[in-house]
Amino acid sequence: MKRLFGHPFTQGAVVLVVGFFIFEYLIGYILPLFGVSSAPVPRSVVFQYMLTVLVGVLLYMSAEEERWAAFREPIQRTMVDRDKRGLRGVLMVAIPALIGWLAYENVKPSYGAPATLRSVHPAPPNQITFRGQTMELTGLENPLRHEGSLEEHMAVGRAIYTRNCVPCHGDRLDGDGHFSAAFNPIPADFTAPGTLPQLTESYVFWRVAKGGPGLPQEGTPWDSAMPAWEPFLEENEIWATIIYLYEQAGVTPRTWEEEGEEGGEH
Ligand code: HEC
């Protein structure tokens, strides 16, 4: 036992294992249990620290000719000795398999919820640029409510909804389209009391125009699949779709008076 722990190779291995334990578990998970404030170290940083430790170990080991020879000895023996063929064979399979597994774990898509919470209705910007034009969102009403006929707008909106939104938001507007199960977060359910009636039409315009990519920081890091429709739909087409959504869901939009009373909270 004493010989084993006195051996430079074992010492080097122990330093690496202890280092990994400190960076991966002690700092992030064990210290907080004792009231020390700290956070888990990100994988990439642990990797960098471990590289530093490895370089340190190799420097120390190679600083003295004798120690370096002793350190290398077990590695050399495993690689060339006849009686180590079995172990060699196992390592030749195990090491590539381990690296393959690590690479797989790294690229495998994860469906777990991100560690941070997502704000479903983040505060909208006061103004946006839509197709190169500045639009003031605060106080903005749906202009189509005061022009043309409701039937006309409904027809335009219905056609756009059927063509573009049904696959995700569903025929019944309940967020249950054919593709919906593939997304996290799931497509919005327009029949839920927490969506359309709680939102001003200008808010909905912003979300349709800018989609998931236009969400502010608090709406991420959940990657919303909601497309930005600005490149495909004209301003009035979006307003008509919004009329269709509200009429079809049988609800009325939140007004700017209500918005003012509650301090613009979404
Ligand atoms: C590829 C799937 C997909 C398509 C197609 C799609 N959406 Fe979405 N939509 C989503 C997802 C997912 C969310 C929820 C995440 C978010 O808020 O960005 C969402 C959210 C929304 C919201 C925000 C609702 C709220 O409560 O804040 C609106 C409004 C919306 N979609 C309208 C539309 C309209 C209108 C169309 C068609 C022109 C459309 N979407 C097409 C996936 C989609």
- Per residue in 97-107, pLDDT (tens digit) is 999 999 998 88
Per residue in 50-77, is it b (16+ CB within 10 Å) or e — as a string? eeebeeebeebbeeeeeeeebbeeeeee
Our answer on whether the CB atom of 74 is closer than 6 Å to any ligand 1 atom is no
Our answer on whether the CB atom of 11 is closer than 6 Å to any ligand 1 atom is no
Q: Whose CA is nearest to atom 9 of ligand 1?
A: 226
Our answer on whether the CB atom of 204 is closer than 6 Å to any ligand 1 atom is yes
- Cα distance from N-terminal residue to C-terminal residue, the chain: 66
Our answer on whether the CB atom of 165 is closer than 6 Å to any ligand 1 atom is yes
Cα→Cα distances 244→151, 195, 208, Å: 9, 15, 13
Our answer on whether the CB atom of 212 is closer than 6 Å to any ligand 1 atom is yes
Joined together, the tokens standing for residue 245 give: 């959504």
> What pLDDT does residue 2 have?
61
pLDDT, tens digit, 9 for 90 and up, residues 205-242: 999 999 999 998 877 767 899 999 999 999 999 999 99
Query: Taking Cα atoms as reference points, which of 133, 111, 137 lies closest to residue 123?
Result: 137
Q: How far is the CA of 186 from the centre of ligand 1 (A)?
A: 9
> What pLDDT does residue 117 have?
76
Cα 132 to the center of its chain, rounded Å = 29
Q: Tens digit of pLDDT per residue, the chain (266 long)?
A: 566 778 999 999 999 999 999 998 998 888 888 888 888 888 889 999 999 999 999 999 999 999 999 999 999 999 999 999 999 999 999 999 999 999 998 888 776 666 677 888 999 999 999 999 999 999 999 999 999 999 999 999 999 999 999 999 999 999 999 999 999 889 999 999 999 999 999 999 999 999 999 998 877 767 899 999 999 999 999 999 999 999 999 999 999 998 887 654 44
Residue positions counted in the chain: 266
Q: What mean pLDDT value characterizes the chain? A: 91
Cα→Cα distances 252→88, 199, 243, Å: 73, 9, 10
Residue 92: CA atoms inside 13 Å, Cβ hemisphere, count? 8
Pocket test for ligand 1, best of 169, 171, 198, 206 (most atoms within 8 A of CB): 169
Contacts of 224 (CB under 8 A, 6+ apart): 185, 211, 212, 215
Contacts of 228 (CB under 8 A, 6+ apart): 209, 210, 211, 212, 213, 214
